Amino acid sequence: MAFESMKAAIAMLLEQMANRPEDTHELQESLREKLSEMRAMGLPLPDDLVALEASLAEALDKRS
């Protein structure tokens, strides 16, 4: 997947997180997958998305 397509997919995930907070866990997994794809392609990971991924993981751990 091209970098621009990856950015669009992540932007769509972020919009879904804002609109469907009840599905945060599912969307977090999707974000994790997209970041893993970026790592595999050797693309730079945006610091804000890495921080968001960590923040979501922490928030979901607190709920459990």
d(CA 45, CA 47): 6
Give the Cα separation of 9 and 49 in Å (integer): 13
Predicted TM-score (pTM) of this structure: 0.70
Over residues 16-30, mean pLDDT: 82
Share of the chain above pLDDT 70, in %: 97
What band does 20 get if pLDDT is binned at 50, 70 and 90?
confident
Q: How confident is the model at residue 40 (pLDDT cuts 50, 70, 90)?
A: very high
30 has pLDDT over 70: yes
